[in-house]
Amino acid sequence: MTGIDFIFAIAVLIMSVVFHEVSHGYSAYLLGDPTAKYAGRLTLNPIKHLDFVGSLIVPAITYLLGGFIIGWAKPVPYNPYNLKNQKWGPAIVGASGPLANFFLVAVFGLLIRFSSFLSFLPPAFWQIAILIAFINLILGVFNLIPIPPLDGSKLLFALLPYQWRHVQDFLERYGFFILIFFIIFFLRLLLPAVLSLFKLITGVAF
């Protein structure tokens, strides 16, 4: 990946994580919590969502470590106590982010899969489409990891029986450090699975 390619990848990543976070905010709003709306975060304006570490520093580090980029935006605030469904509401809000990424994967992945019918589009379009599909697939899979503050932890906590709440307490307390450890030492292990999924969806192999 050249310097220009990396800049394009960062731009796609930023727009993807913004779409991810806004999806959280809208799902919370639809479930009865207006916190994100009052905070002015139900917007696709990236300036409202950028996180210096998650949107710039971490993507650069993960690229150097594994050859692909991962990152995040500032989490959209929401109050779980305002949600209509107290048990599954946080899980639904959590799942909406990865689902937004997988939606983009499906749209651009299918365009790539059937690109032979769209040969009138310029090569640059397909380069960007592949980048969007690939980065959003990484984001969707990454965010399903059940380590706080990732969205997969919300799904895990909704499924945990009450007697295992000590597991939730431990993960909420130390999750960030566990996540950093995971990113440094184990994130690259996800790459073969992501590449296989990408080929299955798009027909393109790296």
CA distance 157 to 205: 35
Task: Give the domain range for residue 133.
Answer: 3-202
CA distance 14 to 7: 11
pLDDT at 66: 67
In terms of Cα–Cα distance, which of 94, 73, 98, 74 is closest to 31?
94
Q: Please give the model's pTM, rounded to 2 decimal places.
A: 0.92
What helix, strand, coil percent values describe the chain, rounded to 5?
75, 0, 25
Number of structural domains the chain divides into: 1
- The distance in angstroms from the start CA to the end CA of the chain is 13
CA distance 21 to 63: 22
Q: Pick the catalytic residue from 18, 21, 91, 104.
A: 21
Q: Based on the residue annotation, tell me whether 21 is a catalytic residue of this protein.
A: yes
Burial 119-147 (b: 16+ CB within 10 A, else e): eeeeeeebeebbbbbbbbbbbbbbbbbbb
Q: What is the pLDDT of residues 184-201, one digit of tens each?
A: 888 888 889 999 999 999
- Amino acid code (one letter) for 19: F
Q: What is the pLDDT of residues 58-111, one digit of tens each?
A: 898 888 876 678 889 999 999 999 999 988 999 999 999 999 999 999 999 999
